[in-house]
Every structure is written in C-alpha cells, then in structure tokens.
Amino acid sequence: MAIDPVTLQVLANHAQAAAEAMAFTLFRTAHSTFVKETEDFTSGLTTPEGMTFASPRDLGATWFIGLDYGNAIRMIQDYRPGDVCITNDPYSGYVCTHTPDLHIWKPIFWGDEIVAFAVGHIHNTDVGGAVPASLSRQLTEVHQEGIRIPPSKIYEEGRLNKTLLDVMLTNVRMPEQNWGDFKAQLASVATGERKVHEMIRRFGVDTFRQGIQDLLDLGDRRARAVLGKIPDGDYHFVDYLDEDGPGGVPVRLELTLRIRGEECVLDFTGSDPQLHSSLNVPTGGAERHILLMVGYTYSLYTIDETIPLNGGITRPARCIIPEGSVLNPKFPAAVGMRSLTCGRLQSLIIGAFQAAMPQAMPAGPGSSAGIMNVKTIDAKTGRRIMASINPMTGGAGGSSFGDGADGSGANSSFLKNTPVEVNEAEVPIRFRRYGLVPDSGGAGKARGGLATELEFQLFSPNSVVTARNRDRTRFSTWGAMGGDPGATSSFWRNPDSNHAEDLGNTDVVNLDPGDIIRIKAAGGAGWGPAWERDPALVMRDVSEGKVSVAAAARDYGVVVRDGALDAAASESARAQLAAAAASRAPAHFRFNPARDAYEREWTDASYAALAAVLAMLPVHWRHFVKRRIFDRVAAMPAAERRADGGHVRAIFAEAIASFPELRHIRPAAE
C-alpha cells in the first residue's frame, strides 16, 4: 500500500537532504586533494535490498544513480548494529568497478530490523599494485591493479578490525591519505545513519519503509512514461575506441536499443571480446549494471529533466551482454582503465537514443580526451613535482535546441579545470596556449561545441607527461540528422618543428628539456544539415573566431567578404551543398573519413562473422585470435576481402588449424 503522495514528496525532500548531507560531510572531511579536486566519490542511501534511493545532486560523481549494492550486501552474513563493511574488488559482486574505488556500506537498524544501508565510495589515489596510482592501460590482470578487499566487515559492532586495516594500509603507497579519506567515508555513513533515524522519528518506521520503496516506484513510473514517448523500434548504433591497447586495433561497441512500449532492452551483442589490457568494463552481465546505465540515465534525464534521479528509473531497462566481452569480462581480466571505455559506452548509448529521439537528443559528444599529469623537477629547488594539470575536454554535440556547449559539456560536464596561474605557480612548466580550437566543432544546423587545446613547455630532463584516457584521434564524434562529425583529438610533441612527433593516443611520454606538448580534444558533432544553419549564426561564429571564413564557405556555404555576408554568393553555395547531400545515400549519422574507411575494411558483416567465430573459442583465446585475424585482414589486398565476411571465416579456419589446442573446434562450412 503506497503512502500518500504529499507525504512521499516531503519524504523525498528529507531523503535528498540526507544524501546531500552525507556528501558534504565526506567532501568536507576528506584528506586527499584528489577527492576535493575531482569529486570522484559518492554517497547515498539504499533500501534493505541494496538499491540506491537517494543520491546527492550537488556534489560527487555522476555515474552512480541507481547503484545496486545487493550483491555485496548479500556476501556478508549476520549484520549487527555498529557494523561497517567495505570492498574494492571488482570481481566480488560487481558493485565496485575498479580497485581504487573503496566502497563502504553500513546497515541502519531500527530496533532489530535493517531499514536501510548508508553507502558510498571514494576513488583512492593509489591502492598499490604494479604502477603508482594503480591504473595503467598496459595491465592485463586484476592482480596487478593493487590490493583487493572482498566484502568484509571493517567494523564489527563498532570495533575496528585492526588486522584488516593493517593489511590494507601495508599494501598501498600513501597509507595516511587512504586512512584519512576512509575516516571521511565513515563520517559520511554515520551522518546517513543519523539522518535516517531522524526520518523514522519524523515519519514513523512504516511510512519510511514503504516510502523508500515508493520513491523507487515513482522513478520507475516516470522512466516508463519517458520510454513510452519514444516510438517502438530497434535502434542500432556502433561506436569504437581507437585502440584496444598501446598501438592496438579498434574496439567495437555495439548496441541495439529495443524500445517496446514503456520498456527497453539494451542489447550489447556484437561488442568486442574482452581485451588483453585494462580497458574492460566489469559488469558481471547484470541486467542493470551501473556502468551500463550511465548513458541511459543521462539520456532519459535529457529527454525529461523532471524525472527523479534514483534507482527506480533503471527498472524498465534490461541489458544483454555476452560473457567474455569487453563489457562483461571474465576474471581475472584487468579493468582499471574502464573509465576510457565507459566514456565511449556513454556515447554509444547516447547515439542509440539519438536515433530513437532525434529531436530530443544531441549529436556525438567530444567527451574527455585525457587527464593530463606532469612529473618533472623544479630547477630552483631540485624537488620532484607530480601534478595533475588539467582534464582535456571536447565540446558537446549540437541538438534541435541549439549549439553544443563549447569547451566541455555532455558526458564530461562534471570535469573542472585548474587555472593556468595556479599550474604555473606550482609546476615548473610554461603554458603557451589554453583555449578553444576554432573549426573543431562539427558543422550543422546546430554546431557542435569546440574542443579545448593546451600547449605547454617543460624545462627539466626526465620529465614525464601522462595523459590518461586518450582516444578519438582516429574516429571522431558522429554527426546526426545530417550534421557533420567533429574534429579528431590530437597529441603532439614539438609541433610545427622539424622534430615533431605525433603521439596519437599515447598515454605516457618521456620528455627532454625544452620539449613542447600540444594536445587538442575532440570537437562535438553537428546536428542537422549545415546549409540550413541561419547565416546570421554562422556570421556570429565567424566574428567570434569560432568558425573561420574558409570553413564558413566550405561547410556552411556562407560566403563572407570583407567581414560581411555575401548573400547572393551564399545562396548559391548553400544550394550546391544541399544538392551534393541529396546525391549521397541518406544516413541518420555521419562519421569522419577514417571511420568510413575502417568500416569499408571491417563491414558489419565481417564483424558479424568475427563475433560468430570467436564465440566458438574459450574466452581466454578470443582476444588472441581476434588480433591474429586483424593482422591478416590488414595485410590482405582489399580485393580479397568479401562483403559477407567470408574471408574472416577463412582466416579463422586457418588459425584454429595451426593451434593443436583449438583443433577440436569445427567451424560451420561455408
């Protein structure tokens, strides 16, 4: 029996206040600068079953609406008042998704009964393992990614489990910092417990118990109403990571979004097998795993921003993810850098929703293009300095509502930069440029947002620049409804010199004194045909230096002479652009030439063939065989490739024949 809707609304405000108070408490008392700078933490309240019903909106990471703690909660038997549990193991119930995230949950009792859990996580800067900060693309097994704590009680009835704590702190590089941040987590869940007790005194335990379920039900109903507005159909979309590891081949992410009435299925079949790098996304194949639902949540909220942000909104959705794929890797695949894949996964889902709701959803987002860190030596003091200097961000995609945000936005909206002045005061480097990249936004009736660019110089030998999460130097953002793709990202050492080096998606660069680094993020994509853009808006972009005179003529057919619009010349130029487009095959999405070329080499049919043959292999063979097939296809003259993917099957047959361990596999005859 649902509680009265007015009481529910009052209860919703109290629950929200509790989650926000938990977040502020954690943020205020955390020790590490990392937490304060990146806000990579969350806090919240779950039902006794573990579904989050209240999350903060003002502070913290945006990925964790509807995180289900159920699996981790159930791994502990016999909760007592005063217990506090933790885990940072990505393979213990898939609540935690990489080792730096230390998750905490505390049962909240009322009498003998658990009425809720106070939960949350902090991304620790380091949890030990093969590399400082515990994260590297090169790692291949989760064992290299630091210490792993399976779901365990760190406090039993209020008594600290000193042994567990010592084990934990012995295995990390900055134990004081982790301990300091952990105390902030403890303060946060204690605040949550106090707030829930206040709520129960205010509303009564029956109303509380029912009310938190009603909040989820309301989220569920609201999400169904949004899905109900979307026409029934299968919406297919594919997006790629540039490479599956240093110097690797692309990673294909594939989604068929099936909208049926007020429910939907996100079928990720066709996505690549799990990788021999740490880009895997650990989901356990759960139907509504949190990392699979981020793009879904963003999309629903963008279509209707009045929906409540709680776990209930994920209920009408169900995911299908083949086991052993990059989105459902098997233990012990490394998963540390899953955030790079998650960024693309979000744009994949945004793309499928864009196909379904082209007027409500934007074109492709530039997303993050790397978190820049510098390690160098201060010439004056001789001190080693390690500093995070800036996240690189691309623009948002255009939409029927207008241009994409310049410089950031869409799924990188949560990132903050560091002022140039602060960086220069603290790190012995010199900034040469920080700003927007003209012409980087995809042309469109609504222009894609411009990317950002950063250029700086280092002065000390043995300096190292790391750029975590590099991507989009090959495949750029996708235009929608006739809009153009955005510009690709780029990363150069000593650009414009006779010893320039294209760093591509490299994420660790060793540098010499005087070297200059230039990095550009990817531009957001355009929405709608560029020649339909109001010439006055193109003129504004030109006068603001966001679009060059040349690009205005080339992409928009807007001819500028002596700073003024040449209306007659523009009219004919726009007519020509429209005619040229009419002669092309109609397509909802537009990709950059590199992707079009790649998809001529690797067609949907070839990929289907690949997926079919790899599915016959044991999981630990798939990536290996896939790379072998890729090498062979790349070496093959284009004429020998077959549109139906037959050449893939042929190569596969040869491959299994050459490995005795695989000889028992019998591919179907051609």
Partner 1 sequence: MAYRVGVDIGGTFADFCALDEATGAVRTLKVLSTPAEPGREVMQGIAELQRRFGIAPSDIGYFTHGTTVGINAVIQRKGVKLCMFATENFVDVLELARLKMPDPYHLLSRRPEPLVTRDRVFGIRERMLADGSVDLPLDHASLRDALDRARAVGAEGIVLSFLHAYRNPAHEKEAARLIGEWAPGLPVFPSSSVWPIIREYERTSTAVVHGYVQPRVAAYIASLQASLRKAGVTTEPMITKSNGGVMTAELGKTQCIQMLLSGTAAGTMGAAFVARHAKVPRVLALDVGGTSADVSVIVDGQPSYRSGEMVGEFPIYIPTVSVTSIGAGGGSIAAVDAFGTLAVGPESAGSTPGPACYGRGGMRPTLTDAFVVCGFMGHSELGYSAVTVDRAKAEAAMAPIAAALGRDLQSAAEAVIQVAISGMYREVSKLAAHQGVDLREFSLLAFGGGGPMTACLLARELGMASVLVPTTPGVLSALGGLVADVKNDFILTVYAPLSVETLPQLREGFGRLAREAEAWLRDRQGHRGTPRLAASADLRYHGQSFEIETSIDLAWIDTGDVARIAEAFHREHERIYGHADREARVDAVALRMIVIGESAKPALPTQDRRAGPAAADAWIDVLLDGQPRRVALHRRADLVHGMTFDGPCVIAQDDTTTIVPDGYAGSVDAFGNLHLTRGS
Tell me whether residue 267 or residue 406 sits nearer to partner 1 (CB atom). 406
Stretch that binds partner 1, among 235-243, 298-306, 594-602, 623-631 (CB under 8 A): 298-306
Tell me whether residue 315 or residue 622 sits nearer to partner 1 (CB atom). 315
In angstroms, give the least distance from the CB of 37 to partner 1: 5
Nearest-angstrom CA–CA distance, 100 and 128: 9
Nearest-angstrom CA–CA distance, 172 and 607: 42
Cβ partners under 8 Å of residue 316, min gap 6: 220, 223, 224, 227, 262, 263, 264
* Environment class of 359 (CB within 10 Å of its CB; exposed 0-12, middle 13-18, buried 19+): exposed
Q: Can you tell me which of 92, 280, 299, 310 binds partner 1, judged by CB under 8 A?
A: 299
DSSP states along 153-211: EEEETTEE-HHHHHHHHHTSS-HHHHHHHHHHHHHHHHHHHHHHHHHHHHH-HHHHHHH
In angstroms, give the least distance from the CB of 547 to partner 1: 11
Tell me whether residue 322 or residue 479 sits nearer to partner 1 (CB atom). 479
Tell me whether residue 143 or residue 221 sits nearer to partner 1 (CB atom). 221
Please give the DSSP secondary-structure letter assigned to residue 446: B
Give the CB-side neighbour count of residue 155, counting CA atoms within 13 A: 18
Interface with partner 1, residue 494, by CB under 8 A: no
In angstroms, give the least distance from the CB of 274 to partner 1: 29
Interface with partner 1, residue 459, by CB under 8 A: no
In angstroms, give the least distance from the CB of 389 to partner 1: 12
In angstroms, give the least distance from the CB of 168 to partner 1: 19
In angstroms, give the least distance from the CB of 77 to partner 1: 33
Nearest 5°: the CA angle 137, 139, 140 is: 120
Nearest-angstrom CA–CA distance, 119 and 67: 10
Nearest-angstrom CA–CA distance, 261 and 233: 9
**Cβ contact 501:492 at 8 Å:** yes
In angstroms, give the least distance from the CB of 422 to partner 1: 6
| Residue closest to 134 by CA, chosen among 339, 331, 298 | 339
Interface with partner 1, residue 297, by CB under 8 A: yes
Nearest-angstrom CA–CA distance, 13 and 503: 50
Tell me whether residue 166 or residue 198 sits nearer to partner 1 (CB atom). 198
Q: Can you tell me which of 1, 6, 568, 639 binds partner 1, judged by CB under 8 A?
A: 6
Tell me whether residue 13 or residue 170 sits nearer to partner 1 (CB atom). 13
**Cβ contact 447:404 at 8 Å:** yes
3-state secondary structure of 24: helix
Interface with partner 1, residue 302, by CB under 8 A: yes
Interface with partner 1, residue 296, by CB under 8 A: no
Interface with partner 1, residue 229, by CB under 8 A: no
In angstroms, give the least distance from the CB of 425 to partner 1: 4
Nearest-angstrom CA–CA distance, 106 and 84: 5
| Residue closest to 98 by CA, chosen among 51, 63, 170, 148 | 148
Interface with partner 1, residue 193, by CB under 8 A: no
Tell me whether residue 329 or residue 404 sits nearer to partner 1 (CB atom). 404
Footprint (CB under 8 A) of partner 1, residues 52-81: 57-58, 62, 65
Which contacts (CB < 8 Å, 24+ apart) does range 431-437 have? 431/455, 431/456, 432/456, 432/457, 432/516, 433/518, 434/390, 436/406, 436/407, 436/546, 437/487, 437/520, 437/521, 437/523
Footprint (CB under 8 A) of partner 1, residues 138-167: none
Q: Can you tell me which of 154, 348, 361, 625 binds partner 1, judged by CB under 8 A?
A: 361
Stretch that binds partner 1, among 24-32, 257-265, 370-378, 653-661 (CB under 8 A): 24-32
**Cβ contact 487:440 at 8 Å:** yes
Tell me whether residue 413 or residue 572 sits nearer to partner 1 (CB atom). 413
Tell me whether residue 155 or residue 298 sits nearer to partner 1 (CB atom). 298
* Total residues in contact with partner 1, by rule CB under 8 A: 85
| Residue closest to 105 by CA, chosen among 63, 135, 61, 75 | 75
Which contacts (CB < 8 Å, 24+ apart) does range 633-639 have? 633/601, 633/602, 633/606, 634/601, 638/601
3-state secondary structure of 499: coil
Interface with partner 1, residue 433, by CB under 8 A: yes
Q: Can you tell me which of 25, 52, 134, 460 binds partner 1, judged by CB under 8 A?
A: 25
Tell me whether residue 256 or residue 400 sits nearer to partner 1 (CB atom). 400
DSSP states along 95-148: SS-STTEEEEEEEEEETTEEEEEEEEEEE-S---SSSTTS--TT--BGGGG---
3-state secondary structure of 476: coil
Tell me whether residue 393 or residue 489 sits nearer to partner 1 (CB atom). 393
Nearest-angstrom CA–CA distance, 240 and 4: 48
x/- letters, 99..138, toward partner 1 (CB under 8 A): ----------------------------------------
Footprint (CB under 8 A) of partner 1, residues 232-291: none
Tell me whether residue 334 or residue 547 sits nearer to partner 1 (CB atom). 547
Cβ partners under 8 Å of residue 464, min gap 6: 374, 375, 376, 508, 509, 510, 511
Interface with partner 1, residue 194, by CB under 8 A: no
**Cβ contact 446:537 at 8 Å:** no
In angstroms, give the least distance from the CB of 17 to partner 1: 4
Footprint (CB under 8 A) of partner 1, residues 371-430: 391, 393, 396-397, 399, 401, 405-411, 413-422, 424-425, 430
Note the maximum CA span of the chain. 81
Please give the DSSP secondary-structure letter assigned to residue 450: P
Footprint (CB under 8 A) of partner 1, residues 335-354: 350
x/- letters, 310..339, toward partner 1 (CB under 8 A): ------------------------------
Interface with partner 1, residue 37, by CB under 8 A: yes
In angstroms, give the least distance from the CB of 376 to partner 1: 15
Tell me whether residue 138 or residue 494 sits nearer to partner 1 (CB atom). 494
In angstroms, give the least distance from the CB of 45 to partner 1: 14
Interface with partner 1, residue 452, by CB under 8 A: yes
Q: Can you tell me which of 306, 498, 583, 658 binds partner 1, judged by CB under 8 A?
A: 306
x/- letters, 552..591, toward partner 1 (CB under 8 A): ----------------------------------------
Footprint (CB under 8 A) of partner 1, residues 513-552: 540, 543-546
The structure tokens listed for 474 are 């090959």
In angstroms, give the least distance from the CB of 169 to partner 1: 17
